[in-house]
Structure 1
Amino acid sequence: MVIVSVTPEIGLDDGYTYAGGLGVLEADKFYAMARLNKPYVVITLLYNNGYVDYVFSNDNNPVPMPQRQPRSFMSKLTPSGYLRVTMKDTEVYVKVLEYRFNNARVVFLSPQSPRWAYELVDRLYIENDLESKFYKYVLLAKGAAEYIRARVGLRNVDVIDLQEAYTAMLPLVLPLPPQRYRIIIHTPGPWGHPSFPAELFRREFGYRFFEDPVILTELGLSMSGEVIVVSRKMRDVVSRVIPHHMHKVKAITNGVDSARWVDGRVLKAFNEGKLTVEGLAGIKQEMAKELESYLSRYKPGLRIGDSITIAWIRRLTRYKRPDFVVRFIEENPQRDGIVFVLGGKPHPYDEWGLAMMRRFRELANKYSNVVYIPDYDVGVAKFVLPRIRLMLFTPFPGWEASGTSFMKTSMNGAPTLSSRDGAVPELIMDGVNGWLFGVDERCLIDIGSDPRANDINEKEYAEFSYKLNQIIQLYYNNRDEYWKVAVNAVNTFMNKADIVGVLKQYYKF
């Protein structure tokens, strides 16, 4: 029996078909299922110009640029014929390309004609208007339905996993018993729960919904037999948002693919039972030299040596609180023995994120011990994350569904200073395998308008700053204790956060 996963993005080692954590997670699942030789089909769209890259103007403003799909990626896709679907009462021709690995494959749907259909997949998560956004996901639903019918066969399908609400129109065009569908909610934030005018559904599908607008998440929740959220804390958070669906909600905490993300030296020592304080310290010293060489492309003349490298690297958006590290750097300028590695990019319509991108670049230009990586992607992450010494994970409490960047660094012996959000409360013990700050809030507080948000931010920043200074002192005054925390991090996360264990919970093999 075949497992089918439908997703708006996937972050493979090649190509630009992802924007952030969801895509990287789905790729981790794909690679792990392929190595396990499981029959696994991922269906997504092929975006002609990827997501977004940035260049900076002379006055330090980030300018969004398209990401043309590289030839090296396109050459790895195997053409697999065409599908025909009907949209806007017009026949749309969809080219099928497959990325194959053992018994698993990623199916990319690429509309060829008419022109308006081709233009729907110009960019990931970037559209000119609401109707174009609606039809982008109609295309994913109808293309996936036709591929499943014609190429997989309904009798051969074990389960169809709908990754995030963008895929929730599939049950409208491929009606199956609810137990054949599961919807996985990857974020409590509003951006993951789009809504569209009921009139668009009437025109395209003939349905006359009572609700207007129609919320895709509610559609997916209603038509799926099971709902999965990606951490235990997230289950508590969503219980205040979808109480009428909680009878079918379960938590399966995210993980990461250790074979993909863990440095071979660390992996070998762990697998052989030879991971020691002295051994890990030696490996990380080698890594520091490699990181210094790599980061010199962003900061010529950078010297790391024995410095503690502290990283804040992920998608730039308000709830992840990149302003915490900005504030700390400004309050502690040019401290000896510390190198800050900043990375990430925002959605091009996110003015707050764009402003923070400018601040990151200004700090890198101002201070010799700050490096900014504006083109942060999977390839950069696979090199940088294993080689840092400390990860900063700072989401506003209640807003992070799970988070996986801290899992990747912890597996590589770089522990995390984290707020108590996402999957963190399940995995990090303060002072044992990482460090914690802040409160474990389990409801969604509007960070833009609720006056409590500013109070929480101020209190949590004070604790964050205090804890970070303590960790820096520990690193320089009691190095063995620091490495003990790092070794504990490797042992904890390798045993509890590997994606194979997650997949066993999903698919019961």
Structure 2
Amino acid sequence: MAVPVPNRPRIAYFSMEIALEEGIPTYSGGLGVLAGDMMRSAADLGVPIVAVTLASRAGYFRQELLHGRQVERPEHWDPATRAQRLDCKVAVRVGNHDVWIGAWQYEVESHSDQFAAVPVILLDTDLPENRDEDRTLTHYLYGGDPTYRLRQEIVLGVGGVRMLNALGVHVQKYHLNEGHSALLTLELLRARGAADAHGESLQEAVAAVRRRCVFTTHTPVEAGHDQYPYGLAEQWLDGLVHPRVLHTLGGPDRLNLTRLALSLCGWVNGVAQRHAEVSRVLFPGYEVHAITNGVHAMRWTSAPMQALFDRYIPSWAHEPELLVRALRILDGDIAAAHVQAKQELLQFVTGMAGASQLDPNRFTIGFARRMTDYKRPGLLFSNLDRLRAIARRYPFQVVVAGKAHPHDEPGKRHIASLHAWAQELAGAVPVVFLPDYRLEVARRVVAGVDLWLNTPQPPLEASGTSGMKAAMNGVPSLSVLDGWWLEGCDEGATGWAIGDDGDFDANRHAESLYDKLEHTILPTFYEGGPAWSFIMKSTIARNGSYFNSHRMLRRYVSEAYWN
């Protein structure tokens, strides 16, 4: 059987979702894509990591759009087509009975084949030993009710630790990517014989677990963290640890998985400088470091731009920091590479609703992300008359994509509104909504548009990574000053800010967006000459060279893993 190398100490990276490749729907959005990028960097750099996630046989969902309304369809896949079954099973107590867990191994290869692949363990409860309701526990990513979610998190956290032990993996540290896997810390306590410890014995066991655990939080609002009534948690955890231990570590009123992780992880970090600041206010008394996210350079750079970098900046893929030399690229060469990426985007969307309106010579704005209230997808369209007036002077078009969570009705209404606005703007501002936002769609859009738009309500954007992907392709951002953009915005060089830092007013943000677009961005683009080429090259040199997952992983290694 294929198993991770058992005698090499590894970091065990736990994440509810990981984006592995197109056609494997084990992710829902940015959290999973970040995890996938991190595994690719680990493979490229030879960092000894083993990842643990769920098989998600029915995926997150396949998005269909009917008359502007989102409809969710299961996205089934068979792990046997892309991964190898491991000859190993473990059992966990879920409620009043055991649930058996099998596993598959997927291997993330290095782009250079210099190092061994990074193994990803996909946990799977679809086994004949299990009850029907348990066989589907690893089917639907973020599906079902809170009880289903809690049972999934028992499988991921508790089952994941037991699976690695059964496979003989020597784990040096556990890295929890968000709180979904926080229950693994309770399994580590139990394994130390501290399931019902108290006083000094509990403190010693907690200290030992903390030395082995790293926690990355991604959510800057209390309501975004998984929480369960203690009665429900105790029912399904069924004695994993004594209720007294659970209440001591999980929060005063409810089991808060983020607070559990904070209590039992010795290193905690947010995913941007501002997010760490917000997290320290949200969870006072805890030390929260900052490691700003990054994206995998090879994965997100278009083929035309890769070829350009290969000519001008050899070794850029292994050392993305070398992209700082992008300013040496000739203006005509970078413009030609982007034109090719733009043409590939337009070819990709041919046949989609409204795509016939798109013009390769027209300035193109990209807006693609999870459709939810705090992302404010309607900010660009808050004044349609203003948009029409701007477009009469400087023609532009908009490419939009994004899914709303199946239970997020406001998010679904945003999608319907975007379709309605597109119809109202027809003939003046072409707006195309690309259905089923996924890896392949994202790769095309971030490379082929001319400007990346981001409009979150601050301070709710923990980091954001879509603008980083655009930057790899020389596409500047127009974004609210939140998340990573507070660190990446160099006005007029890497893009432009919407509003001021600390300004949360939506009306002022909309006015700033329109003013920057009309008086600065569009005139610069249409004037031609070296100005826009400089912005593209500067975006790569200043942002692409820094906001990459190689830099991010190196910081985890030096600051969180080996300390």
TM-score, normalised with respect to structure 1: 0.91
Q: Distance in 2 between matches of 1:276 and 1:230?
A: 34
- Report the equivalent of 2:496: 435
SS at match of 2:119: strand
Q: Establish whether residue 342 from structure 1 lines up as the match of residue 382 from structure 2.
A: no
- What is the identity, as a one-letter code, of the residue corresponding to 1:52? F
Post-superposition Cα deviations, 1:148-178, rounded to whole Å, max 9, x if no partner, equal 222144xx22211001111111110122531
Post-superposition Cα deviations, 1:90-133, rounded to whole Å, max 9, x if no partner, equal 22121201101333111111102122222323321121x32222
- Which of residues 303, 309, 312 in structure 2 aligns to 1:270? 309
CA contact (8 A) 1:306 1:337 kept: no
Q: Distance in 1 between matches of 2:40 and 2:351?
A: 30
- Report the equivalent of 1:310: 365
**432-441 vs 325-334, greater mean Cα deviation:** 325-334
Size of the aligned set, in residue pairs, is 489
Q: Distance in 2 between matches of 1:188 and 1:284?
A: 35
- What is the identity, as a one-letter code, of the residue corresponding to 1:463? S
Q: Establish whether residue 89 from structure 1 lines up as the match of residue 96 from structure 2.
A: yes
- Report the equivalent of 1:207: 243
Q: Distance in 2 between matches of 1:393 and 1:303?
A: 21
Q: Establish whether residue 64 from structure 1 lines up as the match of residue 80 from structure 2.
A: no
* Unpaired stretches in structure 1, ≥5 consecutive residues: 442-451
Change (3 A) 1:191 1:330: farther
**Post-superposition shift, 1:41?**
0.8
Q: Distance in 2 between matches of 1:458 and 1:193?
A: 29
- Report the equivalent of 1:449: none
Pairwise mapping of residues 327-366 of structure 1 onto structure 2 (< 5 A)? 327=382, 331-333=386-388, 335=392, 337-366=395-424
**Post-superposition shift, 1:479?**
4.5
- Report the equivalent of 1:486: 536
Q: Distance in 1 between matches of 2:65 and 2:308?
A: 42
Change (3 A) 1:194 1:303: closer
- What is the identity, as a one-letter code, of the residue corresponding to 2:356? G
SS at match of 1:161: strand
**221-230 vs 113-122, greater mean Cα deviation:** 113-122
CA contact (8 A) 2:41 2:550 kept: yes
SS at match of 2:176: strand
- Report the equivalent of 1:226: 267
Identity %: 28
- What is the identity, as a one-letter code, of the residue corresponding to 2:217? I
- Report the equivalent of 1:446: none
Post-superposition Cα deviations, 1:289-346, rounded to whole Å, max 9, x if no partner, equal 2222112231352342211110111111111111112325563236563121011011
**Post-superposition shift, 1:145?**
1.4
- Which of residues 482, 500, 506 in structure 2 aligns to 1:457? 506
Q: Distance in 2 between matches of 1:330 and 1:65?
A: 36
SS at match of 1:474: helix
**Runs of 4+ that moved beyond 4 A:** none
**Post-superposition shift, 1:476?**
1.0
Q: Establish whether residue 109 from structure 1 lines up as the match of residue 123 from structure 2.
A: yes
- Report the equivalent of 1:235: 276
- Which of residues 555, 559, 563 in structure 2 aligns to 1:505? 555
Q: Distance in 2 between matches of 1:373 and 1:305?
A: 17
Q: Distance in 1 between matches of 2:487 and 2:358?
A: 36
- Report the equivalent of 1:159: 173
Post-superposition Cα deviations, 1:61-117, rounded to whole Å, max 9, x if no partner, equal 322222222x5x641111002222222232212120110133311111110212222
Q: Distance in 2 between matches of 1:131 and 1:170?
A: 18
* Unpaired stretches in structure 2, ≥5 consecutive residues: 1-8, 109-115, 190-207, 314-327
- Which of residues 211, 215, 224 in structure 2 aligns to 1:179? 211
Change (3 A) 1:200 1:484: same
- Report the equivalent of 1:21: 30
Q: Establish whether residue 138 from structure 1 lines up as the match of residue 188 from structure 2.
A: no
Change (3 A) 1:327 1:270: same
CA contact (8 A) 2:463 2:484 kept: yes
CA contact (8 A) 1:295 1:371 kept: no
**Post-superposition shift, 1:179?**
1.3
Q: Distance in 2 between matches of 1:288 and 1:140?
A: 40
Change (3 A) 1:157 1:467: same
SS at match of 2:351: coil
- What is the identity, as a one-letter code, of the residue corresponding to 2:371? L
SS at match of 2:329: coil
**12-21 vs 32-41, greater mean Cα deviation:** 32-41
Q: Distance in 2 between matches of 1:177 and 1:100?
A: 28
Pairwise mapping of residues 412-423 of structure 1 onto structure 2 (< 5 A)? 412-423=473-484
Q: Distance in 2 between matches of 1:493 and 1:86?
A: 47
Change (3 A) 1:381 1:234: same
Q: Distance in 2 between matches of 1:505 and 1:288?
A: 34
**Post-superposition shift, 1:2?**
0.5
Q: Distance in 1 between matches of 2:159 and 2:383?
A: 48
- Which of residues 105, 111, 125 in structure 1 aligns to 2:142? 125
Post-superposition Cα deviations, 1:347-387, rounded to whole Å, max 9, x if no partner, equal 11111110111122234445251111121101111122111
Change (3 A) 1:496 1:405: same
- What is the identity, as a one-letter code, of the residue corresponding to 2:181? T
CA contact (8 A) 2:338 2:448 kept: yes
TM-score, normalised with respect to structure 2: 0.83
Q: Distance in 1 between matches of 2:168 and 2:13?
A: 12
- What is the identity, as a one-letter code, of the residue corresponding to 2:552? V
CA contact (8 A) 2:137 2:152 kept: yes
- Report the equivalent of 1:467: 516
**Post-superposition shift, 1:201?**
3.2
CA contact (8 A) 1:266 1:275 kept: no
Change (3 A) 1:378 1:191: farther
- Report the equivalent of 2:198: none
**Post-superposition shift, 1:275?**
1.9
SS at match of 2:215: strand
**357-366 vs 134-143, greater mean Cα deviation:** 357-366
Q: Distance in 1 between matches of 2:423 and 2:159?
A: 47
Q: Distance in 1 between matches of 2:274 and 2:46?
A: 32
Q: Distance in 1 between matches of 2:30 and 2:222?
A: 16
CA contact (8 A) 2:422 2:431 kept: yes
- Report the equivalent of 1:386: 447
SS at match of 2:552: helix
CA contact (8 A) 1:93 1:114 kept: no
**Post-superposition shift, 1:410?**
1.1
Q: Distance in 1 between matches of 2:536 and 2:483?
A: 21
- What is the identity, as a one-letter code, of the residue corresponding to 1:171? T
SS at match of 2:120: strand
Q: Distance in 1 between matches of 2:107 and 2:405?
A: 30
- What is the identity, as a one-letter code, of the residue corresponding to 1:172? L
